[in-house]
Amino acid sequence: MSLAIAGMGLVTPLGSGVDSVWRRLLRGEEASATTISEQFADRPYAVFRVSESPLTGLAHRRLRRASLISRFAAAAGLEALRSAGIKVDAQNAERIALIFAVSNGGVIYTSRFYRDIVETGAQSASPLLFPETVFNAPASHLAAILGVNGTTYTVVGDGAVGLLAVKMAEDVMANKALDYCLVVGTEETDWLLCDAYRRWRLLRLAPPIEPFSKRNRGMILGEGAGAILLGRTGPIAIERAHPGGCYEKRAEADEILKRMLKDLNQTETDFVISSANGTFIDHAEERALEQVVPDTIIYTAKPALGESIGASGLWQVIVGAHALHCRELPPVLHADQNISLRLSCSRTPLSDAHSAIILSSGINQQVAGLRLALR
């Protein structure tokens, strides 16, 4: 079964709206880093944040107390529906499924909620914050805004979770009673996350993200949301969503990636949207790409947008779909020029491109992929 992308929405640190972000990526722009600090620690971290402006029009009462992660998701989801010309009403509310991808969830409110407990005791715990700490709070808010009353799932995982959510959407849409599935990936940044990833030796203190670098200097976190509306028809098909796999040790990741790439590359592939982010996963992807698709053009948007974990897979799909539509790839920023992969080092025309592979390697054991094709 092949699904098609009927609409897309983007909220990123490089701006919001698919066309606007795309133009900036083509120009080789990257998001500006801001520094965040924490009262009980002296180490600040650089992150790519979303400006408040794309969120100002979101006036729904369910978003009044909602965390940023929910507001990012609502903005991206509404843009995807708008771009497809779909309005949810009582007639079709049951025929639209909603699948969310998140990794760390509402970490800002979660850490604030727990800080009250640690600093002043359980009696200070806020009943207003607690509901926003649950993983499915963003999905619940968007379902309420739209009036969707049927299937709503929140899928949790690492950087591969966005593509795992698309795979789940493909399975859910096997039910012919559904017309559409809105898949949203969303994430917010926080000092605590930066500190955790640094202690895990995956984060660098300041930009840039250097993809495929031999030195694995680490990633910079980004935030925002990406949304795709999947339907039965449309110009760009999800030809195949691969269920992916899980690696036990980091050294095993490239073997799973190779198997998956071979499955997805049964016919010629014009380009690959990689998830390279400056960490160990770059080398796993590099080895798999070198072996399976050595002559295919590779692009990663993470140096420009940051690593947004839960949102990043959806960003990759949107970038891949838009590249097929516009027949052009943006330049990869800050890449090591000495690697053997064929990177899109400058704006790369794709005059006769008709297919792309999206590859997501998470930093916590999950990998996933899918194949896009022009119909």
Window 165 to 204, contacts with other proteins (CB under 8 A) = 167-168, 171-172, 174-175, 192, 195-197, 199-201
The H or E element containing residue 372 is strand 366-374
Give the nearer residue to other proteins in terms of CB position, either 322 or 371. 371
Give the nearer residue to other proteins in terms of CB position, either 137 or 301. 137
CA-CA distance, 24 to 18, in Å (whole number)? 10
Is residue 149 within the footprint of other proteins (CB under 8 A)?
yes
SS3 category, 34: strand
Determine which residue in the list 28, 82, 118, 375 makes contact with other proteins, applying CB under 8 A.
118
Is residue 57 within the footprint of other proteins (CB under 8 A)?
no
Q: Which of residues 217-236 bind other proteins (CB under 8 A)?
A: none
Contact stretch for other proteins (CB under 8 A) within 73-81, 128-136, 317-325, 328-336: 128-136
Closest CA to 225 of 327, 103, 143: 103
Least Å distance between CB 103 and other proteins?
7
10 Å Cβ neighbour count for 120? 10
Is residue 296 within the footprint of other proteins (CB under 8 A)?
no
CA within 13 Å, CB half, 279: 26
Determine which residue in the list 67, 151, 277, 312 makes contact with other proteins, applying CB under 8 A.
151
Determine which residue in the list 76, 137, 273, 329 makes contact with other proteins, applying CB under 8 A.
137
Encode 122-156 in three state secondary structure: HHHCCCCCHHHHCCCHHHHHHHHHHCCCCCEEEEE
Is residue 263 within the footprint of other proteins (CB under 8 A)?
yes
Least Å distance between CB 256 and other proteins?
6
Please give the C-alpha separations between residue 84 and each of 149, 176, 231, 290, in angstroms, as whole numbers.
Answer: 20, 20, 10, 37
Long-range pairs, 325-331, Cβ under 8 A, ≥24: 325/235, 325/236, 325/374, 326/22, 327/351, 327/353, 328/26, 329/271, 329/297, 329/299, 330/22, 330/25, 330/26, 330/28, 330/299, 330/301, 330/304, 331/28
Least Å distance between CB 27 and other proteins?
36
Contact stretch for other proteins (CB under 8 A) within 129-137, 277-285, 312-320, 334-342: 129-137
Q: Which of residues 85-104 bind other proteins (CB under 8 A)?
A: 98, 102-103
Determine which residue in the list 153, 258, 290, 345 makes contact with other proteins, applying CB under 8 A.
153
How many residues bind other proteins (CB under 8 A)? The answer is: 75
Is residue 312 within the footprint of other proteins (CB under 8 A)?
no
Is residue 284 within the footprint of other proteins (CB under 8 A)?
no
User: Residue 332 CA to chain centroid, in angstroms?
Assistant: 17
